[in-house]
Structure 1
């Protein structure tokens, strides 16, 4: 039975505790208590979260653990905890940090020379403070050897389901996702960002255009087509669109196509030609150039990097 040590610090985010529901659901789906969970802290006792939620914990010790999870909402810890984590490498199968808890792993030296991620708003700071780490700021979660890191709090759920899939198989992981009313977990390679959220149009008219474009990516989606959806002239539409979103229609559509194409490359086995047609690039060469501009690597490299993740 794998033992999970859930490491908490004063001020932890209650949202990070949602991960425990994944392991509880996995035990139910497995039909037996597969995971054993123990709450840990530096000195033991009651630990208070940021909203006044208290959790009773055990003190750090040499007890056997298969997985150490550091809850989100914390980015600093005591020297005792740092030593505990440093000693755990090589003894514990996996060590994982949710959200800004990646700063704790970095301070312990566990991210030196490793790929990692954290919440997008803090990723560049993490890279600046710990230059020996290789921070991938738009990833949902990253595995590099025994060390795992995830993006914001909800990405911790994807991380936990990835552990379940690794330990108990895809069928139980899917059952856990259904039980918790989650989409089957997002792959670690998926982006933290969403083009539709990032554009933030200010009018229903432009929002309707973006919704139409997302549903019809295989179309040409030139200015005339989009202007027709907005019931505006082409020139007026381009001005309004740029004013509301900060981007030209062509640039926004390309970002949308890239987002969907990347998701298809990561999560399906469709050919490059099929993905290019489905997302409106038309041919694989045009899609390749777009990937190089946006990601600095061709679609094949994106697919290969994803296949190396769980």
Structure 2
């Protein structure tokens, strides 16, 4: 552990998401506490900063005391951009964006939490990089900033010295990864245990999503929208390309070409998505045994169901049920 504390600045703004700020802040603060208990000096100097002179009010209504934006002669080791309802207004402030662009180029490490990716992307520094944000905002981020490579599933992504994280509490996962990079696995694990959270959360954020992008992608073509409705009513039936093509009155070659152009994925992948989504609902809303769910949704066997869940959500069906069951 270095004896020179690393300066961590967390950028806030009006209507910031409270957990985007206090989640990472507490991780770094807990690392300082753990260091003190081991007779070591603090690892981090922490400041929540904002362009506003009198602090900011979070979207939860809690006011935050903030420090002014650091001057040019004040160094920043780690710069974290929070997200929240106010992020789009913040991203339209040219002075704030310009300050962020200059500071990010000076910092050794730059990160965004949740929709903070929109504000960081406004600087142009994320172009060509792999990024993530809240699952419900990934499509909007990709549309607004097409030069970004948006991956909707990871809890966080590290691309060189830029880090981005998924929604809200994923900022804690991100901060733990930063602590691990700075202070080692043992310290990060001690902080995670103290906060009673996973050091490495199982699965990606797709397990929390409740909407298929496939449904939105097919909305402009009523043939495919009707096809998806029919598939959902016949999940255990033969859903081969020939069957699907015949249902919409197209040749197989034409169907595959048009379907992929409209949805961005193959028919086989779409069928798997629809079956996984149906299985997710049954796992959460019923006590139906896995064997019956596998048969009902067209997987055939529990093993095929398990493999599809791991491939799509990075969790097992049983693990998903334990986390999300409402029964």
Fold match by TM threshold 0.5: yes
**1:3 counterpart (7, 30, 35):** 7
2:130 counterpart residue number: 115
Q: Normalized against structure 2, the TM-score is what? A: 0.64
1:22 counterpart residue number: 27
3-state SS in 2 of match to 1:200: helix
2:264 counterpart residue number: none
2:98 counterpart residue number: 83
1:103 counterpart residue number: 118
Q: CA deviation at 1:258?
A: 4.3
198 and 18 in structure 1: CA distance in 2 versus 1, 3 angstrom threshold: farther
10 and 170 in structure 1: CA distance in 2 versus 1, 3 angstrom threshold: same
Query: Take 1:198 and 1:82, find their aligned partners in 2: how far apart are those partners?
Result: 44
167 and 202 in structure 1: CA distance in 2 versus 1, 3 angstrom threshold: closer
91 and 45 in structure 1: CA distance in 2 versus 1, 3 angstrom threshold: same
Matched, 1:192 2:205: yes
RMSD of Structure 2 on Structure 1 (CA): 3.0
2:213 counterpart residue number: none
1:293 counterpart residue number: none
Query: Take 1:208 and 1:37, find their aligned partners in 2: how far apart are those partners?
Result: 49
Q: Is the 8 A contact 2:13 2:87 kept in 1?
A: no
42 and 252 in structure 1: CA distance in 2 versus 1, 3 angstrom threshold: farther
2:282 counterpart residue number: 201
Query: Take 1:59 and 1:145, find their aligned partners in 2: how far apart are those partners?
Result: 28
71 and 168 in structure 1: CA distance in 2 versus 1, 3 angstrom threshold: same
3-state SS in 2 of match to 1:123: helix
263 and 199 in structure 1: CA distance in 2 versus 1, 3 angstrom threshold: closer
Matched, 1:71 2:95: no
Q: CA deviation at 1:21?
A: 1.1
Q: CA deviation at 1:259?
A: 4.3
Matched, 1:48 2:62: no
Matched residue pairs, number?
234
